[in-house]
Amino acid sequence: MKNLKKRLKAGETLNGCWLNLGSSLTAEIVGQAGFDWVLIDLEHGAGSEKDALYQLQALEHTAAGAIVRVESAESQRIHRVLDMGAEGIMCPKIGNPADAQKVANGLHYPPHGSRGVAKMVRATGFAQNFNQYYQESQETILGVVQIETVDVLNHLDEVAAIENVDVLFIGPADLSMELGIFGQFDHPRFKEALQETVNAAQKAGKATGILFFNPDDYQRYHDLGIRLIACGADATFVADGARNLAKKLDAFRSVIK
């Protein structure tokens, strides 16, 4: 474990990015790049749970902690990737406290949750370290719920107060879409929703997170109090690199006689 939960509790700012290609190779490249954490995306990403396993293996010997975004709060989706060795779970489209509680329950073994017990899994060293994993998991597994619906904005304090919900993570695209101001991240209503989320998290002693694609926005969100920061994705890195190089080559070709 890379201690993401402990570091956030200590007030650190953690820099990360998305992995949405489903590739163990890009996971390894990104993991070695210097990020504190990465997000393996099973909601919108190209990979499956099997691909997530390969990505977790590739990230094992890098400095980046691995969070997996599951498709839903169903306990099977959550404990399956935890058994593979994920350090945290992100769940999208939280609408109310009951949704968030379902996520929290799925993260931990009884009496702290309802996670099913399986010893012969990767997370426990295939049964070699089960007792240690069981004892430490309450303090190491990070629970992240996404704030991206209008409904949840009416329940932020309740969601933030739930035990084992560690991070309220703003999904800018979905939240702005639901607010009817898609992509308008400078809109007063979007800014208000951001501040409300940060305030609720801080009152409960929890962290706030966000994904953005322009590094120049870093100061803006950090100044708001957001500490789990994601910028970019492996697909973006590949696409931008390829396009930029193709443009340079085209420019050289256009001046060659």
CA angle 35, 40, 46 (to 5 degrees): 130
Six token digits for residue 65: 């902690």
If one counts every other C-beta atom within 10 angstroms of the C-beta of residue 36, the result is 20
CA separation for the pair 67, 157 (Å, rounded): 24
Q: Judge contact between 58 and 24, C-beta under 8 A.
A: yes
CA separation for the pair 228, 16 (Å, rounded): 8
Is 61 designated active site?
A: no
Nearest to 191 by CA among 149, 220, 219: 220
Element (H or E) spanning 208, and its range? strand 207-212
Identified catalytic residue from 44, 79, 108, 222: 44
Count CA atoms within 13 Å of residue 118 on its CB side.
15
CA separation for the pair 236, 242 (Å, rounded): 10
Task: List active site positions.
Answer: 44
